[in-house]
Amino acid sequence: MKKVVVVLALVGFTFSTISCRETTQDKIENSAEAAGQDIENGLEEAGDAIENAADKTGDAIENGANKAGQEIEEEIEGTDDYNGDDDNN
């Protein structure tokens, strides 16, 4: 009777540890999901950085164009001083 109880206890213990063990496939799936999430986050950050850089570049171009237009108008009107300073200050 003791042998039967011991064998049943061992079988129960074996099945309980096997069912709780994480398989290699589970580990691969978890790693793939984590890597995918890291890539997605990195791409979002890169996209935001590119968008910010494009906005700053557009602003710089617009400011440069405005300043160039103002300098051209000053040249045409004859109000430009020759050292590049703004006469309107």
**Has residue 29 got a pLDDT over 60?**
yes
Across 2-27, average pLDDT:
73
**Has residue 51 got a pLDDT over 70?**
yes
User: Cα–Cα distance between 17 and 6 in angstroms, integer?
Assistant: 16
Query: Which amino acid appears at position 51 of this protein?
Result: E
Quick one: DSSP state of residue 1? -
Instruction: State the average pLDDT for the chain.
Output: 81
Confidence grade of residue 84 (pLDDT, cut at 50, 70, 90)? low
pLDDT at residue 19, rounded to an integer: 56
pLDDT at residue 62, rounded to an integer: 92
Q: Is pLDDT larger for residue 62 or for residue 87? A: 62
